[in-house]
Structure 1
Amino acid sequence: MTTSASCMIKPAWTPMTIGLMVLGFVVFWPLGLAMLAYILWGDRFQDMARDAKSQWRSSPFKGAVDQMASGAYARTGNAAFDEYRDKEIKRLEEERARLEAMRNEFDDFLKDLRRARDQEEFDRFMNNRGRGPAPEDS
């Protein structure tokens, strides 16, 4: 089996891979761990990727995930159901927008409360600043 692009670093226990693994652990431990995984299982990565792709292609969830990722909803052929689904999606989007507006209002309310509290603390500091300790009677 020949490939057009050959890998400079083979997944094996060679001085170069061991050095890169040690350097990876010194610099940032996940890099060393990744290099160790490559040394141990690197020759199986292509097979695992091919197996994962073939399982994904035959997965019953692939169509649903692809549809959600694209944001488009395919017609089912049943006009009543498609109309119902479109109405529900519109209702949910309006509900989400309403909740987002409420959240923004609450964030503004909290910001105003923090501002009032900060102003009160600052005013208290300014009033107490000039007083200092009470003078003692001798």
Structure 2
Amino acid sequence: MTPSPAYATAAPSGNWLSKTEAWLDARGKGAWIALTVLSFIFFWPVGLALVAYMIWSKRMFSGNKSMMSCNTRRMTPARFRTSGNAAFDSYKADMLRRLEDEQEAFESFLQRLREAKDKAEFDQFMEDRAKNTDERSSDA
């Protein structure tokens, strides 16, 4: 008897229906959805039966563990994740610190720019107001 390769998996025992179900489960929710859409296209009662089965077996609304771990990974900020390479992590931390410093400097520059613009607009308003007041007092 020859040893089975590491990538080979044992086929599920049972009828063709349970084998098909196991095959679709191994490929994830996308395979179930694709099969349902194709079933609706070719013969709608089968598509309807698949939707009913997916709801009844809670396949449609159950969370996929690999998707959850991917979502959890996505929600973790990049700066808190480590790559496992200490040199790269040090470089990344230094680069992020420099970028944050640049961002703070740029935001303070924008703030000073806004304040200068506001001051110029206010000064212009005060000049216009003084001119209008002078014109009114000379007209009277």
Q: TM-score, normalised by structure 2?
A: 0.49
In our comparison, the structure showing a higher alpha carbon Rg is: 2
Greater RCO structure (CA 8 Å; 6+ sep): 1
